[in-house]
Amino acid sequence: MNAVAKVNENSTKVELEGVAVVPQQAAAPQPAPKKRGRVLLMAALPLALVVGGGYFWVTGGRYQETENANLRQAKVNIASEAAGRIVKVDVTDNSTVKTGDVLFEVDPEPYKIALAQSDATLAAARLNVEQLRAAYSQAVAQERVAASGLDYAQAQFDRSNGLVTKGVNTKSSLDEARMDLDKAQEQHSAAVQGIASAKAALGGNPDIETDKHPTVLSALAARDKAAFNLAQTTVRAPADGVVSQAASFKVGQFVGTGTALFSLVETGDTWIEANFKETQLTHMKVGQEAEIVLDTYPDRSFRGTVEAIGAGTGAEFSLLPAQNATGNWVKVTQRIPVRIKVDAGDAGLAMRTGMSATVSIDTGVSRGFGSIFGHAVAAE
């Protein structure tokens, strides 16, 4: 019997003409992959994370790093110690100078005149000392004359007194001799006082050197001050550095004494100011080595040494320090500045104050397995 088979998608029966036949059941599907491998994979990943994290925790903590760091260079305010009008300017804004280079000059003419006056005053003081020395010699000579006159008057008085005693001379002649003696004594006393006065004018030492006399010393000091003021009309660079904020500094400007005119950033004194969290300072000490990477030179690292650790947190030295006695106190991890001296080298690179940096300090102490029990382990 020819049969036409019709197969429906939703039926497992095979229909023949006039005959209904139930086919055999379809083969069972293959079982899904065992879940054991999936479970192991799911368990291995957290385990690997735990082991790796534990390893890094145990071996970590030796290097303390922060990106809150900036390069610093000393800034000096340039001012003139001599007031006057600027007659010469030898620098421009952002120009590089060396120690001793001339920055600018103040009009020196008034100071030259003052120096000439001081020289004249000094010469007059020296001349005055010579006059005082001559006056002392004159006083000594007058004392000798007065002493000789006193001796003569004394002899005349003694002679007259002897004659009066013998009745040869009158008493009036004795009185006249006594008067002459008293006058001679007064003249001698005045001459002695003249010597003392002349000696005092010479500083108590008749043989004093001219330039050691107080009047001459005062004139010398005034002269040295005038010479110093003249020298200050030429202002020189106190250190190697870069001139800053001098764009408006021009010839003809009048400057006063001590007025800041522009700044000099010293390139020879460079350090890093890194602000570490207080929790990072546990094992940080002065003298430890540091690695510095400037954002300007990301492919180059610099060596440094911890030079000092700040005396307090930044909040302690802020204009408005936090008042933690209030009821809204919230504990915040504080930062403490650490000064790191940059080792000499790479002088050809342009380093400018304020550059951002990343600092890593080798404290020499890692957490170790003992950190689990609350103590760290020193690295060998």
pLDDT digits (tens, 9 = 90+) for 313-358: 877 777 776 666 666 667 888 899 999 999 866 555 778 899 999 9
Helix, coil or strand: residue 353: coil
pLDDT at 25: 52
Q: What's the CA gap between 265 and 236, in Å, rounded?
A: 14
Sign of the CA dihedral with 46 first, then 47, 48, and 50 last? positive
Which CA distances in Å does 162 have to 103, 157, 177, 178, 344?
Answer: 92, 9, 12, 13, 103
Residue 54: is its pLDDT beyond 70? no
Confidence label for 19 from pLDDT (cuts 50, 70 and 90): very low
In this predicted model, which residue has the larger pLDDT, 218 or 331?
A: 218
Task: For residue 304, give the amino acid letter.
Answer: G
Query: Cα 45 to the chain's mean position, in Å?
Result: 56
Please report which confidence band the pLDDT of residue 126 belongs to, taking 50, 70 and 90 as the band edges. Answer: very high
Asked if 338 and 309 count as a contact pair (C-beta separation under 8 A), the reply is yes
Instruction: Give dist(CA 376, CA 369) in Å, integer.
Output: 8
Higher pLDDT, 124 or 166: 124
Taking the C-alpha atoms of residue 84 and residue 103, their distance in angstroms, rounded to an integer, is 15
The predicted pLDDT at position 328 comes to 66
- 31: pLDDT strictly greater than 80: no
Retrieve residue 295's tokens: 């954002």
pLDDT band at 369 (very low <50, low <70, confident <90, very high): low
> What does the DSSP 8-state code read for residue 338?
E
SS3 content of the chain, % helix, strand, coil (to 5): 40, 25, 35
Query: With bands split at pLDDT 50, 70 and 90, how would you rate the model's confidence at 306?
Result: very high
pLDDT at 18 over 50: no
Does the domain at 61-73+269-319+331-378 match CATH 1.25.10.10? Answer given as no
Kindly state the average pLDDT of the residues 128-134: 92
The CA-based angle 372-378-380, given to 5 degrees, is 130
Confidence of residue 16 (pLDDT cuts 50, 70, 90): very low
In the predicted model, is pLDDT for residue 6 greater than 50?
no
Identify any residues that bridge with 15 across adjacent strands, giving them in sequence order. Answer: 6, 20
pLDDT confidence of residue 332: 82
Say what the pLDDT of residue 230 is. Answer: 96
User: Would you state the pLDDT for residue 3?
Assistant: 41
Two domains, one topology: 61-73+269-319+331-378 and 76-107+229-260: no
200: CB partners within 8 A, 6+ apart: none
The answer to whether 106 and 255 are in contact (CB under 8 A) is: yes
CA distance 147 to 54: 112
**342 alpha carbon, distance to own chain's centre:** 17
Residue type, 9: E
Burial class (CB in 10 A: 0-12, 13-18, 19+), 171: exposed
Gap between the Cα atoms of 21 and 53, Å rounded = 67
Residue 269 and residue 73 in contact, taking contact as beta carbons nearer than 8 Å: yes
Please indicate whether residue 54 or residue 239 has the higher confidence score (pLDDT): 239
Residue 224: CA count within 13 A, CB half-sphere? 6
Q: Between 16 and 275, whose confidence is greater?
A: 275
Look at residue 57 in the predicted model and tell me its pLDDT.
56
Check whether 212 has a pLDDT greater than 50: yes
Per the prediction, the chain carries an average pLDDT of 82
Least confident of 69-83, 210-224, 355-369: 355-369
Decide: 95 and 240 in contact? Cβ < 8 Å. no
Residue 236: partners with Cβ closer than 8 Å, 6 or more residues away: 100, 101, 102, 103
Q: Give the domain 76-107+229-260 fold.
A: OB fold (Dihydrolipoamide Acetyltransferase, E2P) (2.40.50)
Token pair for 294: 């400037």
Which whole number is the average pLDDT over 114-132?
A: 95
Token pair 């400037």 is found at 294
- Six-digit token pair at 175? 């009185």
Per-residue b/e over 294-332, b at no fewer than 16 CB within 10 Å? beebeeeebebbbeeebeebeeeeeeeeeeeeeeeeeee
Domain ranges of the chain: 61-73+269-319+331-378, 76-107+229-260, 111-227
Q: Residue 178's pLDDT band (boundaries 50, 70, 90)?
A: confident
* The predicted structure's pLDDT at residue 370: 53
